Structure 1
Amino acid sequence: MNEAEVRRLAESILGTVAGLRRAGLREILREEPRQAAPPADQREEPGISMAAPAETEHPTAERFSIQTEAAQGDEKEKAERLLAVRDELGECRRCRLHETRTHLVFGEGNPAARLVFVGEGPGADEDRQGRPFVGRAGKLLDKMIQSIGLERGQVYICNVVKCRPPGNRTPAPEEIEPCSPFLTKQLEVIQPKVICTLGACATQTILQTRKFISELRSGVRLWRGIPVVPTYHPAYLLRNPAKKADVWKDLLRVLQILEG
């Protein structure tokens, strides 16, 4: 059995486990029973909150917690390859954004994630901590992830640019260009089942288009054969909460691909 066949088998096993959990089987993953999640097409809009989630809402990831030895090896290999990409990036000075940054924000999460979120760039909190999406928008992203039955540690989160643009402005083309190869390498290593782009900058960069996010978020696009689901940035939702219903529809598209 070659590597591709092993990977497909591992994904099939994980998908079977997820299906059993949705059907109500719990004992193989944890002792105390929990209510089975309804099918995706029967779930109600979760009313995504901007409030910070309680720590108790972040238990050890369970939904895909049973891993074959091959899947564990794949995750380790990808973690090493991502570290090599980070080492190549170094203390980047490829554009002027390095002049005002506190920390470079590479990305974080499961190196073998089936779902990757791509945002625009670090904000003030991210620049201070060196981690993506840890401010108010990050707390909302956590809620978005939880609304489709996942935890932050099961996905991978990164940005188009790795350094904070002053005043949280949109990155300029001459800042995006030198960072884009590293985003590409991250996605090439992870090979997720679906990419969810957050906001216009991330969507336009990934899809190489100048169309507005309102035009692009109504369907599924492709990046090198990987489905891309564009949606609004969590920071935009904080300013325009009425758009949460649209984002929920986009998240259902993501879930449909993950469970397909």
Structure 2
Amino acid sequence: MNSKRAMAQLLKHLTGLGVTHLPKVEVQVRRVAAEAARAAAPAEVPAAAGARRAVKPSAGTGGAAVVQPLRRIPGLEGVDGAGGVRRPGALPEIERVLSGPLETAGQRQDAACAVAQLVAGCRRCSELADRRTQTVFGAGSLTAEIMFIGEAPGQDEDEQGVPFVGAAGQLLAKIIGACRLRREDLYICNVLRCRPPGNRTPTPQEAANCREFLDAQIQIVRPKYIVCWGAVAAQNLLGVTTPISKLRGRLFEYQGAVVLATYHPSYLLRTPAAKKDVWEDMKLLMRQRGVELV
């Protein structure tokens, strides 16, 4: 897809979200020096004691939260010898965006628009870039307390440019309502911003290529809570290979946010019996916010 068509689709999507202007951003993709990359590399998650201080149980929860301190995904800091995954050089344009003020809703909107422009022109994954209709950046409130992270856009998302709008998105909407939340009060994005062919699972390299954009969204929104929907989201965010069945039902800490991992809505469509597990997970998350669900 040529750059003019990509920009036209991006502008149409942003207009639909109520964006009225875009900041001027010089888009120039290049690698930065190794020293700069190391300086920007994420730090290790705090030790166990610090992590537990970051998550305080709400009144009446009956005990302290279970929080497991974890490291970031190894492949993002260089070459993963086991899988050969390499993180692309950081984009200085994103570093400049994130170095500016991000306190007000307007400042965060400007920052998100700038990053979205960079995403729209991204070709790090040539197979995905050649096949996509458009990139799917994210949707929702940039001051949200809760961020949802999914796997990758599907066909409906690729066509509409909005995450979670297909059958899985309809089920997610019911879960959101049952939790006494509204979609517009959340921020929703994916590990990938392009649809993989045939909705296949993203490769580790594709996830590494897109990780800079996910990190930028997290820094812009600054959520207090993150819900990872499915193994791809949880394993990539937390940097583990643990099955989702063993990650769910527990709380983790990531950059000051409480992280909950649970089954993806598409899995629930295939395995309805797992809905009860997701409901228990969401009750655990909401309990941390002082909301009791029955």
Which residue of structure 2 aligns with residue 170 of structure 1?
Answer: 201
Contact 1:120–1:161 (CA under 8 A) maintained in structure 2: yes
What is the CA distance between 1:256 and its match in structure 2?
1.8
1:11-90, aligned counterparts within 5 Å?
Answer: 74-90=104-120
CA distance, structure 2, for counterparts of residue 74 and residue 258 of structure 1: 23
1:175 CA displacement: 0.9
Offset at residue 249 of structure 1 (A): 0.8
- Distance in 2, matches of 1:225 and 1:233, equals 23
Q: One-letter code of the match for 1:161?
A: L
Distance 2:266 2:208 in 1: 23
- 1:40 and 1:122, CA in 2 relative to 1: closer, same or farther beyond 3 A? farther
Q: Is the Cα contact below 8 Å between 2:168 and 2:265 reproduced in 1?
A: yes
Unmatched segments (≥5 aa) in structure 1: 1-38, 42-72
What is the CA–CA distance in structure 2 between the aligned matches of 1:40 and 1:157, rounded to whole Å?
A: 27
2: CA distance between counterparts of 1:259 and 1:162? 33
How far off its partner does 1:40 sit?
9.5
Q: Please provide the CA RMSD for this pair.
A: 1.7
Deviations 1:156-213 (A, max 9, x none): 1100000000111100111111101100110111011100000000000100001100
Asked whether the 8 Å contact 2:153–2:163 carries over to 1, the reply is yes
Partner in structure 1 of residue 172 of structure 2? 141
- 1:113 counterpart = 2:144: yes
Is the partner of 2:162 in helix, strand or coil? coil
- Kept after mapping to 2: 8 A contact 1:122/1:161: yes
Scaled by the length of structure 1, the TM-score of the pair is 0.70
Q: Describe the shift of the 1:98–1:222 C-alpha distance in structure 2 as closer, same or farther (beyond 3 A).
A: same
Q: Counterpart in 1 of 2:283?
A: 252
> Within 2, Cα distance between the matches of 1:138 and 1:182?
22
C-alpha spacing 1:103/1:222, structure 2 compared with 1 (3 Å)? same
The normalised TM-score by structure 2 is: 0.63
Q: Kindly state the Cα deviation for residue 78 of structure 1 after the two structures are TM-superposed.
A: 1.4
Q: Which secondary structure does the structure 2 equivalent of 1:259 belong to?
A: coil
Query: How far is the alpha carbon of 1:94 from its aligned partner?
Result: 0.8
Match of 1:94 in 2: 124
Partner in structure 1 of residue 97 of structure 2: none
- Change in Cα spacing, 1:160 to 1:222, as seen in structure 2 (3 Å) is same
For the residues of structure 1 that align with 2:124 and 2:109, how far apart are their CA atoms?
A: 24
What is the SS of the residue equivalent to 2:228?
strand
C-alpha distance in structure 2 between counterparts of 1:40 and 1:97, whole Å: 45
- Taking the aligned partners of 2:154 and 2:263, their CA distance within structure 1 comes to 16
Q: 1:116, 1:194 within 8 Å by CA — same for their partners in 2?
A: yes
Gaps of 5+ in 2: 1-59, 63-102
